Amino acid sequence: MEKLSDHYTQRISLKSLGLLGIFSVAVMLVPLVFRDPYYLELLFLCHYYVILACSWDLLSGFTGNVNFGHAFFVGGAGFAGALMNLHLGWAPWLTLPIGGAVAALCGLLVGSFTLKLKGPYFAAVTFCFATLLYKWIMIRYDIFGGEEGLSGLDWLAETTTGNYYISGVIMILVVVFLYILSKSPFGLILRSIGENETASEGSGINTTFYKVTAFMISAGIAGVAGAMYGHAQMHVGPEMAHDSLSALIIIMVVVGGMGSIIGPIIGAYLLTLVNESLRFMGEFRLLIYSSAVVVVILFAPKGILDIVQRGWRRLAGQER
Amino acid sequence: MEPLLEIQGLSKAFGGLQALWDFHLTVNKGEIVGIIGPNGAGKTTLFNLITGFLRPDSGEVRFRGERISHLKPHQIVNRGISRTFQLVDLFQEMTVLENIMVPCYSHRARIQRKKGEKPWEIALGLLKEMDLLHRTEELAKNLAFGELRMLDIARAMATEPDLLLLDEPFSGLDTEDAEILSAIIRRMHEQGQTMIIIEHRLRDLMRLVERVVAIVFGRKVAEGTPEEILNNEEVVKAYLGEEGEE
Ligand SMILES: Nc1ncnc2c1ncn2[C@@H]1O[C@H](COP(=O)(O)OP(=O)(O)OP(=O)(O)O)[C@@H](O)[C@H]1O
Ligand SMILES: [Mg+2]
Q: What ipTM was predicted for this assembly?
A: 0.92
pLDDT at B58 over 90: yes
pLDDT at B242 over 60: no
* pLDDT tens-digit map of A186-218: 999 999 999 999 999 999 999 999 999 999 999
Q: Which residues of A touch B92 (CB under 8 A)?
A: 195-196
Distance CA A270, CA A260 (A): 16
> Across all residues in chain A, what is the average pLDDT?
92
Site to probe by mutation for ligand 1, drawn from B10, B11, B14 as the one with most ligand atoms within 8 Å of Cβ, is B14
* pLDDT tens-digit map of A248-269: 999 999 999 999 999 999 999 9
How confident is the model at residue A8, as a pLDDT? 52
Q: How far is B234 from chain A (nearest CA, A)?
A: 34
pLDDT at B246 over 70: no
Which one-letter DSSP state was computed for residue B237? Answer: I
Q: Which residues of A touch B51 (CB under 8 A)?
A: 202
Q: Which chain B residue has its CA at the smallest distance from A186's CA?
A: B105
Higher local confidence (pLDDT), B7 or A7? B7
Q: Distance from the CA of B86 to the center of ligand 2, in angstroms?
A: 6
Indicate which residue's Cα is closest to atom 3 of ligand 1.
B14
Which among B84, B47, B62, B55 has a CA at the least distance from the CA of B188?
A: B84
Query: What are the residues of chain B with a beta carbon less than 8 Å away from any beta carbon of chain A?
Result: 51, 53, 72-75, 77-78, 82-83, 85, 89-94, 97-98, 101-103, 105-109, 118-121, 124, 136-137, 155-156, 158-159
In terms of C-beta density within 10 A (0-12 exposed, 13-18 middle, 19 or more buried), how is residue B39 classed? Answer: exposed
Indicate which residue's Cα is closest to atom 2 of ligand 1.
B14
Q: Which residues of B touch A207 (CB under 8 A)?
A: 74
Strand partners, B13: B18
Indicate which residue's Cα is closest to atom 7 of ligand 1.
B14
Give pLDDT tens digits along chain A (320 positions). Answer: 445 544 454 467 788 889 999 999 999 999 999 889 999 999 999 999 999 999 999 999 999 999 999 999 999 999 999 999 999 999 999 999 999 999 999 999 999 999 988 878 999 999 999 999 999 999 999 999 999 999 999 999 999 999 999 999 999 999 999 999 999 999 999 999 999 999 999 999 999 999 999 999 999 999 999 999 999 999 999 999 999 999 999 999 999 999 999 999 999 999 999 988 888 887 888 888 888 888 888 888 899 999 998 898 888 876 54
Predicted model pTM: 0.92
Find the CB nearest B124 among A4, A188, A207: A4
* Band of residue B245 on the pLDDT scale cut at 50, 70, 90: very low
Burial pattern B198-223, b for ≥16 Cβ within 10 A else e, equals bbbbbebbbebbebbbbbbbbbbbbb
Indicate which residue's Cα is closest to atom 22 of ligand 1.
B44
How confident is the model at residue B2, as a pLDDT? 76
Q: Which of B102, B133, B135 is most worth mutating to test chain A (most A CB atoms within 10 A of its CB)?
A: B102
Indicate which residue's Cα is closest to atom 28 of ligand 1.
B40
Indicate which residue's Cα is closest to atom 17 of ligand 1.
B44
Q: Which residues of A touch B118 (CB under 8 A)?
A: 5
Find the CB nearest A206 among B74, B92, B119: B74
Q: Which chain A residue has its CA at the smallest distance from B48's CA?
A: A202
Q: Which chain A residue has its CA at the smallest distance from B140's CA?
A: A195
3-state secondary structure chain A: CHHHHHHHHCCCCHHHHHHHHHHHHHHHHHHHHCCCHHHHHHHHHHHHHHHHHHHHHHHHHHHCCCCCCHHHHHHHHHHHHHHHHHHHCCCHHHHHHHHHHHHHHHHHHHHHHHCCCCCCHHHHHHHHHHHHHHHHHHHCHHHHCHHHCEECCCCCCCCHHHHHHHHHHHHHHHHHHHHHHHCCHHHHHHHHHHHCHHHHHHCCCCHHHHHHHHHHHHHHHHHHHHHHHHHHHCEECHHHHCHHHHHHHHHHHHHHCCCCCHHHHHHHHHHHHHHHHCHHHHHHHHHHHHHHHHHHHHHCCCCHHHHHHHHHHHHCCCCC
How confident is the model at residue A9, as a pLDDT? 46
Q: Establish if A2 touches chain B: CB-CB under 8 angstroms.
A: no
How confident is the model at residue A70, as a pLDDT? 97
How confident is the model at residue A259, as a pLDDT? 94
Side chain identity at residue B28, one-letter code: N
In terms of C-beta density within 10 A (0-12 exposed, 13-18 middle, 19 or more buried), how is residue B233 classed? Answer: exposed
Does residue A81 contact residue A240 with C-beta atoms inside 8 Å? no
* pLDDT tens-digit map of B23-32: 999 999 999 9
Q: Distance from the CA of B12 to the center of ligand 1, in angstroms?
A: 11
Distance CA B152, CA B144 (A): 12
Query: Which residues of chain A from 168 to 187 reach within 8 Å of chain B, CB to CB?
Result: 185
Q: Per the CB < 8 Å rule, is A204 touching B159? A: yes
How confident is the model at residue A119, as a pLDDT? 79
Find the CB nearest A204 among B91, B98, B106: B106
Q: Distance from the CA of B115 to the center of ligand 2, in angstroms?
A: 39
Question: Ligand 1: which residues within 6 Å by Cβ?
Answer: B 14, 17, 19, 37, 39-45, 86, 200
